[in-house]
Amino acid sequence: MEELVRRARDGDIKAFEGLVEAYKNKGFALSYSILGDRYSAEDVLQEAFIKAWRSLRSLRNISAFNTWFMRIIINLSYNEVKKRRREVSIDDFEDLVAMVNMGAEDKVDIQKALKSLSVDHRAILILREIDGLSYEEIADVLGIPLGTVKSRINAARMKMREILKEEG
């Protein structure tokens, strides 16, 4: 993977295509979890890849590509959320089921959880569970102290537990 990043940074567009393939699903899970619908999530992801291509030359530490790219997605997604001036709407996360195979019960649970969690809580859970980032990496991506990462992940899990309990 580092070889791909190195070649892409040196201007190899084929190598960058390999990076798009490798990171599109992870990146999509993140933008989708923040924005709540697949069209805006895909727009933001596309914008993030284009931005990454343009500023890849400024990336000094090749092994930091993963967190660097996640930070781009986070920033663009949060900007989009700010533009809308709302967190969630009734329709949010309704299209999730069309994209992934899951049981009826899981579907109800995950949609309810995503709709009720805050943007910050959704984002941090995806960074941890889907992208598999360490607490230090999450602190770096979100620009928050390590202590806040610990407490926010804990709070997000507690909140999700409450939400799932509510429905019995």
Residues that bind another protein (CB under 8 A): 10-14, 16-17, 20-21, 24-25, 28-29, 32-33, 38, 41-42, 45-46, 49-50, 53, 96, 99-102, 106, 109-110, 113, 125-126, 128-130, 135, 150, 153-154, 157, 160-161, 164
Of residues 27 and 68, the one with the C-beta less far from another protein: 27
Of residues 41 and 70, the one with the C-beta less far from another protein: 41
Of residues 89 and 106, the one with the C-beta less far from another protein: 106
Least distance (Å) between residue 92 CB and another protein = 14
Least distance (Å) between residue 21 CB and another protein = 6
Indicate the burial class of 33 (C-beta count within 10 angstroms; 0-12, 13-18, 19 or more).
buried
The token duo for 168 is 């019995």
Least distance (Å) between residue 18 CB and another protein = 10
Which residues have a Cβ under 8 Å from the Cβ of 78 and sit 6 or more positions away?
34, 119
Rounded to a whole number of angstroms, the CA Rg of the chain reads 17
Of residues 34 and 81, the one with the C-beta less far from another protein: 34
Of residues 71 and 107, the one with the C-beta less far from another protein: 107
Least distance (Å) between residue 38 CB and another protein = 7
User: 10-29 as b/e, with b when 16 or more CB fall inside 10 Å?
Assistant: eeeeebbebbeeebeebbbb
| Nearest residue to 126 via CA among 39, 49, 5, 35 | 35
CB atoms within 10 A of CB 140: 18
- Residue given tokens 């000094």 in the structure block: 60
Least distance (Å) between residue 50 CB and another protein = 6
